[in-house]
Structure 1
Amino acid sequence: MTAEPSPAFQPVITAAILVIGDEILSGRTKDKNIGYIAEYLTNIGIELREVRVVPDLTDEIVSALNALRSRYTYVFTTGGIGPTHDDITADAVAAAFGVPIDYDQRAIDMLLERFPKDQLNEARMRMTRIPAGADLIANSVSKAPGFKIGNVHVMAGVPAIMQAMLDVVGPTLKTGAKILSETVQAGLREGDIGTPLAEIAKAHPDCSIGSYPFWSETGPDTNIVVRSRDPEKLALATAAVKAMVEAERSRLRH
């Protein structure tokens, strides 16, 4: 039986999200997809490194997509694959990859599972235009598919549909070591622990250590979150944080 590689030797799989849509930038629509995708990816061992939001402009989409797909293992796009004139994501993705785009019979067959043929009007048929060479992403909610080309997964902007597509995509993804985390509630202001916390972070370079102030029932407080792929290094850094917190509490009491 082959032993599992230690976290230090497992590959780091990275990702970016490209959110497409004027409605997001104007504030008319509040994005609900970024947090969902981020949590989903973290839970399966993929590290989300970057999120960009771009308007419904072909050049902007192409530029952002080409930058992201060359930098990260995977790119996930949301928005812009519906039936209206301003849903231009599929065309922009085709342009980014330098391939033609046309009606795809596989996508048409998917829509026919929901709509009679005489209801496949020009607007709905726009959703069956797929870049050449792409694989389809099934959509159990409304049947109109997303698609995958290269390392780019193109998904809907409607949260329920995006989530259904992500459930299809998830099992096909390469994954690495999951990022583990521990949270220590300090019972102190962030400014009380800033200097010693920086020293701990310097002493534990393989861990990510962040402080997040909040207001508790007893007043100002801080959560310290320690993250690492290696459980032993995580435990050591967390122990150092807990010891520091106790020392600072004691110092401030006297």
Structure 2
Amino acid sequence: MVDRVTAAVMIIGDEILSGRTQDTNLSAIAKYLATYGVDLCEARVVPDVEQEIIDAVNALRTKYDYVITTGGIGPTHDDITADSIAKAFGVTAPEHPEIMAMLRERWGEPNAARRRMAHVPEGGSLVKNPVQGPPGFQKDNVFVLAGVPAIMRGMLEDVGPRLRTGAVVLAKTVRVTGTGEGVIAAPLEAVAKAHPEMSLGSYPFFAPPDVYGANLVLRGRDAAELDTAVSELISALAEAGAKNVELLADPA
């Protein structure tokens, strides 16, 4: 069996839960991790509440190989992620000398609010920020990144090389047009049971006035098994009466 590397994402911020800000970081992180063969297995959105952050990160870091958090590392009163992560690990979060030097170079002697951005849990290492502002940090298997999407994506580039990589997941899509999921379900379930190490999903589509169907996505790490499963599914769909079945070209 191929060694599986797992991760979880923790999105921190009242603004996400209130609907005021729409999160785009989750999708970006999932796609980035996939290029390293790391499976994103869970995502949580938690408020700017210390105990909620502590409980969530402790649950996730013991369950998965890696945890990536976004948000809450700025200078305002509700930016409590660094101190909360430190408490989750049972350590303090002193001002990091490298970050303090960055702040002094830009603003002179930083005020109390800006000094908050220099808090890093004891034993943590910095995650480079190539966009603007102070860096994020890594504490054991937890990576703490900014919530601003452009900055977060820049920080991700320093996370990837630190990850233990797994086999990259391969995917193929079978499109069925003019047949509903009620007919598709049984063939799809049969192939899924025959290939328990793979992931199979049905994603219906509708287009006016009367075009409908589903994209059946098969995902796995074994290329030969993936091809076999695709062939089995196409045959099973034909036997079930599906007429317009096609294997879509692999994305470039």
TM-score (norm 2): 0.92
Summarize the alignment of residues 83-162 of structure 1 with structure 2, pairs less than 5 Å apart: 83-113=75-105, 115-118=106-109, 120-162=110-152
Contact 1:207 1:237 in 2 (8 A): no
Q: 1:249 aligns with which of 235, 242, 247?
A: 242
In the alignment, does 2:51 pair up with 1:24?
no
SS in 2 for 1:176: coil
Once the two structures are superposed, residues 7-60 of structure 1 have per-residue CA deviations (whole angstroms, 9 ceiling, x without a partner) of x3x421000001111110000010010000001111210000100111011100
- 1:174 corresponds to which letter in structure 2? R
Summarize the alignment of residues 2-81 of structure 1 with structure 2, pairs less than 5 Å apart: 8=1, 10-81=2-73
SS in 1 for 2:242: helix
Aligned mates of 1:250, 1:126 — CA distance in 2: 62
Q: CA deviation at 1:125?
A: 1.3
Contact 1:190 1:212 in 2 (8 A): no
Aligned mates of 1:131, 1:215 — CA distance in 2: 50
SS in 1 for 2:94: strand
- 2:144 corresponds to which letter in structure 1? V
Match of 1:171 in 2: 161
Q: CA deviation at 1:195?
A: 1.4
Aligned mates of 1:235, 1:16 — CA distance in 2: 29
Give the % identical residues. 49
Aligned mates of 2:5, 2:60 — CA distance in 1: 14
Match of 1:184 in 2: 174
Aligned mates of 1:250, 1:70 — CA distance in 2: 48
Aligned mates of 1:116, 1:85 — CA distance in 2: 19
Q: CA deviation at 1:250?
A: 4.7
Aligned mates of 1:69, 1:237 — CA distance in 2: 34
Match of 1:3 in 2: none
In the alignment, does 2:212 pair up with 1:220?
yes
Aligned mates of 1:200, 1:16 — CA distance in 2: 28
Aligned residues: 241
Structure 1, unaligned stretches of length 5 or more?
1-7
TM-score (norm 1): 0.91
Q: CA RMSD in A?
A: 1.5
Match of 1:240 in 2: 232
- 1:72 corresponds to which letter in structure 2? Y
- 2:34 corresponds to which letter in structure 1? T
Contact 1:200 1:237 in 2 (8 A): yes
Structure 2, unaligned stretches of length 5 or more?
245-252
